[in-house]
Structures are given as structure tokens and as C-alpha cells.
Structure 1
Amino acid sequence: MDKGLILHTILGLLLLLIPAGALYLMERKMLQSFAVSVGRMVVQLLVFCLVVWALIRVNSPWLLIAWLVVMAVYSGWLVLKRCKLNIVKLLPAVSVGLFVGVAFCSLWILVLALPVRIFDARWFVPVTALLMGHATAMTIRGLNAYITALKTDEQQYEFLRGNGYPHFKALQPFLRRSLLAVISPTIANLSVLCLTSMPLLLGGILLGGMSPVNAFVLMLHMTVGCIAASVLSLAITLFLADRSLFDKFGKLMTVLALITLVLSCKGNKVGEGTEAVDAQQETNGFYQPKAEAPQPETSVTGKKVLMYELPAPLKDRPELLLQRKGYTTSYNSHTKTPNWVAWHLTKAHTYGSYQRKDEVFTEDMDIKGVRATDNDYYNSRYDRGHMCPAGDNKWDKQAMEQSFLFTNICPQNHGLNKYEWNDLEILCRDWAREYGAVDIVCGPVYYSKEDQKTIGRNKVWVPDAFFKVVLCRQGSPKAIGFIYRNEGKKQPMEEAVCTVDEIEQLTGMDFFPALDDNTEDRIEASASLSEW
């Protein structure tokens, strides 16, 4: 080896004294990491140079393809390591995404921009390496943005699924964030490209004997190729990784699921050491009513039913009681919406494998004559708002399907449906898990009996507000009520709290009549969120 070259190499490395000196003065703890990183970079660069030299010397198409495969696998491993994701489960998806994206764009460039055979190592290696490096960096950005968005805003995904969106359509907001995480820095880099990597590449091409025009065309193709390869690789990666990120019910895999997987791999059977929850046992320790409240007949059974959550019969408005597997609804044929929907939510019912996947909103065929349909909601600017949420019906397939009947739906402002109302639904499930079970009644509030706003050809009434009352019968009974205006403005939960008596006065309904009078009077006269 030329001694002069060794000397010049050492002199060049002395430039590292500048960042090393800065770290020594400001952050000595990072000196060791800095030295290790520099050493790793030197070794990688040396190995890379030797591999490229061998590839150019042999110049075999099969060897070049193998080189691209190895680069894709290594880059995929690097992506997952940087994103701190499960390498075993996601490496195939990321590696294939990078391989296909880079291979497609590289071959496109080699065919259109270079007057050489495709598998000429002198061109194949630098083009694929450049595209792979850029695609890897952007896939790290895009995948990290996608996973972070899903974890921090999973409720939005569940909300869209609950409103009938297919799985991939519900993922569009998160895919958009992932795409922007790739495109935004790329656009920013384009403005300074002529001052960063392009002069070095362009100088090498011109020194190789290529004319300025051909060099311009090649650099243009390679710049566009980097952008295209990044987007294509990310798109393929997210598509292939979908089954690893979501379970068969369309639910995002959680940390708990990964812990369960680790435990099962260590030899513990899933389910060992856990309690099986029986829905019939959930009422143990709960306050039991002393008297039967009058119960209207149902159109399903024709018999009287005893359910502690049911309000007293209504006499001042149309009412048809429809008993479903997961709830009971009092339907109003005039408003085309429920008067109220009531259900007994147990801890067991907050869990389950039946999700919103592929469920669609459906007309209730038990309603004769004019009834709400899906067309009434098209272009109405209102969501199909669940009264008994789909999230409370994951325990049974039929219960989940029936939660999408329009006799359980009201026109609801999108902002309210997505945020405050959804937060309240989640809180009720938390209470059911904490106390074992709760009784819930909710429904629309109409301040005006005349000239009420409607939507659709069937004139479905648009509520002015929504109420929800919750009863806990464990130990000493307690109850709480909520009123939310049907609008998109922020409504803090603390301001929405009210007593059950206040909601009874507003709606003209009598809630929890199965309770003895003393208990009913006591718990309905006060409400405090802090007591829950």
C-alpha cells in the first residue's frame, strides 16, 4: 500500500478532532459512543468498498440480484431497529417493500437513462445503492410516523370503523401522515440538493467521461427515482405489514398482545393464571331492586321483561320497545330515532373478539312504514351516531350486528361523535370493568317539538343534544348524568355532568324505576364525577 496514501488518510481523519473536541468540552459522556460510531463507519465503508470492487470485477447478473436482496434485508433490519418494532414479524414485509421499490425504480432508470446493458455492475451498484439508502431513510420516517399516529389516535381509527368504513379506508388519515413524513423532507431536500450530494455525484459522472447533457439526464432520473422508490417502498411495506400490525378483527396489536406472545413462547399457556369472567356472576354484590317497575311489552317476545336499566313507559310520545341481544331501544315513529336506548353493561361485555370489521348500518325491518335509512345520512353532514356503542357489543356477533340498526342511531355532530361522546363511551366501559357492571340509558334531546331540523327524505329528526345516565348498583348505589349539545364545539366532561333528576325534568322520562323510592330519590338528586 502506498505510504503516502496512509499518511493522507491519517491526516484526513484528524478532522474528527473538531467534533471530538466539542464533545469533550460539552458532553464527555458521548465521546465513547462517537468513537464507536466512527469505528463502525470505517469498517462498514471498507467492507462496502471491497464488496463493490468484487461485484464490478465479476459483473454477474445473479450476483447483482443477490447483492440487492442482501441490501434489502439489511436495510429492512435497520428500519425495524430504528423504529423499535418486532423484527421477526415485520422483517419480510419491510425487506420485500424495499426490494420491490428499489428494484423497479432502478431498472426504470437503467433502461431509460443509461445506454448500457441493465446488469452492468458499474452502473447497477451505484444506482441501487443510492436509491436503497434514500428509501431506507424515508421508510424509517414513514413507518415511524404511521405507527406513532396509530398508537396515539387509535380512537379515530375505531371511530371510522364504527361508522362503516372498511379497514383500509379507515386507515387513510394515518397513511396520509406517513406519506407526508416522507414527502415533506424530500421536498425540503430538493431545494438544497445542488449544494449537498449532487455536486459529488455529478463530478464523478463527468470525470467518467459522460457528456454534460447525458449527466444531467442521469441525475434527473436518479433524483426522481429516489423519491419514487421511497414512496413505492413505503406503500408496499405498509400493505404487507398490515396483517402483522392488526389482528384478524382489524384491531391494532397492542403491547399486551406482544407480552402474551412472549409469555407463550416461554412455555406459559395463554390463560394460565387468569380468571374466566362469567356474565351471570357479574351481579353478585349488587343492589337488587325491591319492586318491579312496570315494563312495556316488546315487539320481539310479546312478554314483559325485567331489566333494571329500563325507564318507565312513556305516555306523551310514540313508543315501540324493541329488545335486542345487547340493548333495548324505545323507538319513536315520529322522530325516526330512539326515545332512549338502555343496556346492562358487564365487565365481560367490555371484552370480546367481535369487532366493527365489515359491519354496515342497516334498516330495522321490525319498523313498519317510514323509517330511517342509510340514504338519509348521505351528504347530511351528520354522523350515524351510536346510542349503544359497538364497543359495548364485542362479546357477541349478533349483538355487534344489531348495534348498527338505525333504531340505535341518531344524527350526531362529527366532532361530538369523535371526541366527547366517544370519550364518555370509553369511560363507561372503564366503570363496568371497575365496578363489575353498570346500567346505562342514553338518547336524544329535542328542545323544540315543532320545526325541528331533519335530514333525508324520511325526515329523520336531528337532536339538539344527547343525554346519558349511568347507574352503579355495587355496594351503595350511585348515579350520574351527562348532557352534551349536538355540536362540534369543545365540551369539557366536567361541564356536561348533571343529576339524573335534571335529565328527567329535561326529557320527561323516569329513569331506574325499579329502585326503591328512597334510594332512587337519593342517587338521582346528586352527581359528582369525582365519586366515580
Structure 2
Amino acid sequence: MRHRLYFVLAAFLFLAGCKETDVTPEPSVYTPVSGHVALGNPSGATAEISDYNNFLMVKPQYVLSYSRDRGTPNWVSWHLSRDWTGSAPRQDDFRADMTLPAGWFRVGASAYTGSGFDRGHNIPSADRTRTVEDNSATFLMTNMIPQAPNHNRNTWANLEDYTRDLIDAGMEAYVIMGSYGIGGVGSSGAANTIDNGRVTVPKSIWKVIVVLPEGNDDISRINANTRVIAVDIPNVNTVNSDWGTYRTTVDAIEQATGHDLLSALPDQIENIIEARTDNGPTR
């Protein structure tokens, strides 16, 4: 596994409402642009406009790599703890992300209408209920993928609910979600793209969840016994509602996507936890 060096893009966004890890990295070690990517930048995304299919977007609520040509994120990364939850209602204000570079096509709220696919959140609305602003940020279309309805509303929702149950029980988590490939099966059948070819339908959807008891110095507390849940689920409407049947290894997701996940961890620990398939409870 390799470590990468990324420069701080915006000092005022460095912690941007995220929990500090209280770790001062050495100059040669990965330096996160936000606490949401404390475990690494999976694709080496940058904020250079020329990096249009791996464009780094840093928001107070999460960080993502965006693909202009696909019209979807490659991955979204966020920290989840009880600090991010509250009583803010679901906003449902789906909208184009106006922070994309000028001249780029901006996927609109109606792009998925009649497609047979849901506007599937990467970071879910219910993970950001601290404030109305936080919740609203999850409805930007740069956070969406065309997701088969049963996949989104059953299998994926069950995994999201389980993750928040862990948080309610006194845990915290670093979550990375992404998708890859071309072609899924929604309620209207198979499709490679929607919105007149401007949005790619992914073939598979994955997620990695690193689970820790609440505490400080998070990176230093991750060890060979830390629970890491990794799933990779086909984007089809006939998907099994039991997300546990789709558990895999982080290594397998890396092989499928070309990403380098959890790269900020020491290699010895990273190698162990990435090769292990979770066998813990699923509800």
C-alpha cells in the first residue's frame, strides 16, 4: 500500500465542522484537506479543473471526488458521530451544485425523472441532521447516483440504518461510499445512462465503514482488530435486502475500482484490516 502527500487546499475548511484526530502528521505523511478524509484520499483527487474526472470537492459536511463525464461522484467520504445528528428535518431540496467549475454541465434535480432509478444519496440525509444547512448539503446532485429503487430503499437503507444504530450505541465511524462500472437495472429495466446520456448508471455500488468507540486521536486508535465493514452490491432492482450477504474485503474493492483506500493508516495495520471480510452482526 502507498501513502500520498496532498496539500491543504483551503485553510478555513481544514476541519470544517469535523472532529479533529489530534494527530500531527510528519511532513512526508498524508495530510488531509478535511477531517472527513482523515483516512486518505482514495483516488488522489485534486481541485485542478484539468482533473475533470477526479475533481476534489471539499464541503463542510463531506468530501467527494466528482466525475464530470459520468455526472456522478466517484466516491464520497465523511465522518459520522453523534455530533452530526440532531433534529433538523429532511429538506428534500434536490438541486444542481453551483460550485462546480464554470462551463461544466450541472446535473439538475429532474435529471432522474422517469428513468427507473432513484436519486441515490452517497452520504445519506439522515447522517446530517445537526442543522438544516447540514441536511440540505446532502441533496446536492453531486452527491447522487442513479440507484435501483429496491437497492436504495431496502438493501442500502438497511445498511445506513445499521450504521446509525452503531452511532447511537456510542460508536463513531469513517465512511467511504462509491460506485463504478457502467450499466444497472432499475424499475424500468436496464440502462447505461440517463438524462440523454449525461449521467452514467453505475454497475456496482460499494461502501467501507471503519467503526470505532467514541474518543480522540482516532487514527492512532485504529488497530488490527478494528471493525471494518466493506460491501460491494450490484446496482440491480432484484438485489437481496440483506446487505450482509454482499460483504467483501477492502482489497477487493480496491482491485475493482483502482482506488487506494485507508491509505493514511500504517501499512502493517492497513494490510491486515483490508484483507479481512467482516463477520459481525448486521442488525
* Cα deviation digits, residues 395-419 of structure 1 (max 9, x gap): 1221111100001000011111110
The TM-score normalised by the length of structure 1 is 0.42
Match of 1:312 among 42, 47, 56: 42
Match of 1:353 in 2: 87
Q: CA RMSD in A?
A: 2.7
Match of 1:459 in 2: 198
How far residue 390 of structure 1 moved from its aligned partner, in angstroms, is: 0.1
Match of 1:524 in 2: 274
Q: After the TM superposition, which residues 90-239 of structure 1 pair with which residues of structure 2 at under 5 Å, given as runs? A: none
Aligned equivalents of 1:310, 1:473: Cα separation in 2: 17
Match of 1:390 in 2: 125
Classify 1:311/1:473 alpha carbon distance in 2 versus 1 (closer, same or farther; 3 Å). Answer: farther
Q: After the TM superposition, which residues 449-488 of structure 1 pair with which residues of structure 2 at under 5 Å, given as runs? A: 453-457=192-196, 459-474=198-213, 476=223, 477-488=226-237
Say whether the 8 Å CA contact 1:309–1:441 is kept in structure 2: no
Aligned equivalents of 1:326, 1:433: Cα separation in 2: 19
Structure 2 counterpart SS, 1:528:
coil
* Cα deviation digits, residues 339-391 of structure 1 (max 9, x gap): 10000001232x3111114x321000112321211232111111100000000
Say whether the 8 Å CA contact 2:182–2:192 is kept in structure 1: no
**Structure with greater contact order relative to length (CA < 8 Å, sep ≥ 6):** 2
Say whether the 8 Å CA contact 1:309–1:342 is kept in structure 2: no
Aligned equivalents of 1:486, 1:313: Cα separation in 2: 22
Runs of 4+ in structure 1 deviating by more than 3 angstroms, as ranges, are 288-292, 304-307, 312-317, 473-476
Aligned equivalents of 2:199, 2:209: Cα separation in 1: 27
Instruction: State the percentage of identical aligned residues.
Output: 28
Classify 1:367/1:332 alpha carbon distance in 2 versus 1 (closer, same or farther; 3 Å). Answer: same
Match of 1:327 in 2: 62
Aligned equivalents of 1:289, 1:505: Cα separation in 2: 30
Q: After the TM superposition, which residues 484-523 of structure 1 pair with which residues of structure 2 at under 5 Å, given as runs? A: 484-491=233-240, 492-523=242-273
Aligned equivalents of 2:19, 2:266: Cα separation in 1: 23
Aligned equivalents of 2:177, 2:19: Cα separation in 1: 24
Match of 1:439 among 174, 182, 194: 174
Structure 2 counterpart SS, 1:372:
coil
Match of 1:426 in 2: 161
Structure (1/2) with the larger strand percentage:
2
Classify 1:305/1:530 alpha carbon distance in 2 versus 1 (closer, same or farther; 3 Å). Answer: closer
Q: After the TM superposition, which residues 22-37 of structure 1 pair with which residues of structure 2 at under 5 Å, given as runs? A: none
Say whether the 8 Å CA contact 2:171–2:211 is kept in structure 1: no
Match of 2:137 among 391, 394, 402: 402
Structure 2 counterpart SS, 1:501:
helix
Aligned equivalents of 1:447, 1:335: Cα separation in 2: 10
Say whether the 8 Å CA contact 1:310–1:511 is kept in structure 2: yes
Aligned equivalents of 1:317, 1:507: Cα separation in 2: 17
How far residue 290 of structure 1 moved from its aligned partner, in angstroms, is: 6.4
How far residue 494 of structure 1 moved from its aligned partner, in angstroms, is: 2.5
The TM-score normalised by the length of structure 2 is 0.76
Aligned equivalents of 2:52, 2:250: Cα separation in 1: 20
Q: After the TM superposition, which residues 82-93 of structure 1 pair with which residues of structure 2 at under 5 Å, given as runs? A: none
Unaligned runs of 5+ in 2: 1-17, 46-50, 184-190, 214-220
Classify 1:280/1:376 alpha carbon distance in 2 versus 1 (closer, same or farther; 3 Å). Answer: closer
How far residue 436 of structure 1 moved from its aligned partner, in angstroms, is: 2.7
* Cα deviation digits, residues 75-102 of structure 1 (max 9, x gap): xxxxxxxxxxxxxxxxxxxxxxxxxxxx
Aligned equivalents of 1:429, 1:509: Cα separation in 2: 26
